[in-house]
Amino acid sequence: MIRVPRPNMDGFTIALVATVGLATVLPVQGQFAQGVHWLAEAAIALLFFLHGARLPREEVVAGMAHWRLHLLIFGLTFAAFPLIGWAVTATLPHSLLPPALAVGVQFLCLLPSTVQSSIAFTSMARGNVAAAVCSSTLSNISGILMTPLLVALFLNVQGGALSLDTLQTIAAQLLLPFVAGQLLRRWVGAWAARHKAMLKFTDRGSILLVVYIAFSEAVVNGLWTQVPPAALGMVVLIDCAILALFLVGTTLLSRRLGFSRADEAVIVFCGSKKSLVSGVPMAGVLFAPATAGLVLLPVMVFHQIQLMVGAVLARRYADEEEARDALPAAS
């Protein structure tokens, strides 16, 4: 029997709600915001270093060679998502979804997957972290070219040349610490394995910092004042519906195709997410400054929802796995 997690024990979900509330009433701004950004980057770098130090080399190689999983996530991110976005925006009338927000919903569906939260949630869910690192990084690198091409195809917007800052950030903040952990695993691997609590704290702490920073920026930029409440409510409903569709779809599809439970976690968390980090600089290049803010609103809302729902779902995966581990001892 699989134990159902009790709500009163889910302290991490409570922490997420508290973080969103704090960002709403006390958003981080100015020089302090820069300090929080640096702290988040340091936490994420430490997270990937610890992952690299703990993961056996053969698991990393297997994660890179898992082409069926990577191909499925790539297809979900850059084919299924854009088609769903097109269907939604083509169906809803402008009276329900203003044109600028409709462009934002479609733009959301053209973005690559997240990196930090996808891997952190996969780790929390005790999934295939090596495959999550490879798949989410591949998605972001591919998105530098794929997203502008898809924007031109679906939205008839022509943008200039994109900067390589996003690619450099991924390499410096994620890949390099992971590789460093792998190279130093001979000396620090046993220590990292003994301090699993530190990895758990880094996983969840980095997510809380990302939530606080992202939601603070949204509040400072007028998240609650740029659009009427009815339009904002419609964006929330659409984002929730799209996320629910892909969470259910990725779960069923991964099981139908015979993926393991560890790989299922990768497909669910990497195949259902969209990157605000990639979306912000791309929107600045691809759209006029007067419309970029509204275009980004569905992305910002989706980002918050996917973090909240992903945290609860990752916790449920972890609780179910712990229950399975306890079965032999109880029998």
pLDDT digit string (tens) for 23-80? 888 888 877 877 887 887 787 778 778 777 876 776 667 667 788 999 999 999 999 9
d(C-alpha 250, C-alpha 248), whole Å: 6
The residue-averaged pLDDT of 243-249 equals 96
Q: What is the CA radius of gyration of the chain?
A: 19
Output the CA torsion 298→302→303→306 (10° steps): 180
Q: Which fold has domain 22-319?
A: Na+/H+ antiporter like fold (1.20.1530)
Residue position matching structure tokens 């976690």: 265
Domain residue spans of the chain: 22-319
Pair of tokens at residue 313: 């779902």
86-91 contacts at long range (C-beta below 8 A, 24 or more positions apart): 86/154, 88/238, 88/241, 88/242
Residue 139 to residue 77: CA distance in whole angstroms: 8
Q: Residue 286: name the closest of 167, 157, 166, 150 by CA.
A: 157
Q: What is the pLDDT of residue 253?
A: 96
Residue 143: per-residue pLDDT: 80
Cβ 132 vs Cβ 62: under 8 Å = no
pLDDT band at 255 (very low <50, low <70, confident <90, very high): very high
pLDDT at residue 91 above 50?
Answer: yes
DSSP one-letter code for 305: H
- In this predicted structure, what is the pLDDT of residue 4? 37
> What pLDDT shows up at residue 257?
95
pLDDT at residue 167 tops 90: no
pLDDT at 83: 97
